[in-house]
Amino acid sequence: MNTLQPRVSDIMSHAKGGLEVQNSMGPGDPYLSHARLVFLTLHDGTEVGLPESVLEVFDGVHEKLKRYVHVERDVGTGELAEDMTKKIPGSLHLHVQSPRGIVDCNRLEHCAIPFTFSPEIAEHVHRILRGIHGDTTGAIRLALSSTPDARTVIDWHSMSQGSPVPPSPVAKLETLEDHVNYWVDAALHGKKRITDFIDSTDTGEIVGDRKLATSLGEILTAAGIPWVFNMPYAKVRSLHPDFIYGYGKRGVSPDFTKDLLATTPGGGEFDLATCQPDAQRVAAMADLMRPVIEDHIR
């Protein structure tokens, strides 16, 4: 690996399968320094991104695992970033492959494993997951530190349309279905959420690019889509502070309600456990926001 001028392939090699990397910086294997914009999708991975040594823990409950992972997944964000990357020259898209419901690469290592494994296997599984976390987040850091002309980072997320009533069931083998039902019910019957632009710490300090966030919000308002700053989520202390606010960059984390990017196959009532990215909705959102982003990075 050329650590002085790394290329796209160097990031993929460093991540050891933990990242899918897409770019519009030129043909072949371009230098990362050619990027002028970075997109992150940190919470759109699936169980496919887990090694067999972890998947075997879920023998007999694979279907429940898939539903749990899907409910936790930021559905539609990978497709949204992919659309943007194709249409904005000089873009770099880093897409985490592992599911955030098992190992969360948008958290610091000490709080990156939200799933509770039985005591007899926890140490072994945690060692594997910490390895995935370290390889993946290390590759993201390398990419961000190697893109000096990309001053803007956009970290795409999507969330349930409704807030649940706490407490949430502890995520473990015995409660997978309870966890799924808890969030499915919240999406339908919980307190309604609207799109959230995350740009501050949990103490209220604005650390993101408020100008960009406001411009994106104004476009949503014009389209009749309500939004808010830092509600229900602010940039809590457990998030990786360097991902969108480090390396001399400024950024924002738009967090859409999932129904803006996804639909339930076959129609009918929105189902958080089976919803899939909707190509028309993703394209419409990308077309809506892209001109603002392009103007911002000029």
pTM, full prediction: 0.96
Could you please report the per-residue DSSP string of 236-275?
Answer: -TTB-HHHHHSTT-EEEEEEEEGGGTEE-TTSSS--TTT-
Looking up residue 185, the CATH number of its domain turns out to be: 3.40.630.40
> Is 267 domain-assigned?
yes
For residue 206, the model assigns a pLDDT of 87
Element containing residue 41 per DSSP (H, E):
strand 37-41
For residue 292, the model assigns a pLDDT of 98
> Is 1 domain-assigned?
no
> Is 254 domain-assigned?
yes
Domains identified in the chain, total number: 1
Which segments of the chain have a pLDDT < 50?
A: none
For residue 282, the model assigns a pLDDT of 98
How far CA 234 is from CA of 5, 13, 199, 243, in Å, comes to: 34, 33, 7, 15
For residue 125, the model assigns a pLDDT of 98
> Is 3 domain-assigned?
no
Is residue 99 a contact partner of residue 73, using CB atoms and an 8 Å limit? yes
Cα 149 versus chain centre, distance: 23
Helix, strand, coil abundance in the chain, percent, nearest 5 = 45, 20, 40
For residue 239, the model assigns a pLDDT of 62
> Is 14 domain-assigned?
yes
- Residues whose CB is less than 8 angstroms from the CB of residue 154 and which lie 6 or more positions away in sequence, other chains included: 37, 38, 39, 40, 81, 244, 251, 252, 253, 254, 293
Query: Tokens for 255?
Result: 């967090």
For residue 203, the model assigns a pLDDT of 79
> Is 112 domain-assigned?
yes
Expressed as residue numbers, the domain containing 207 is: 8-297
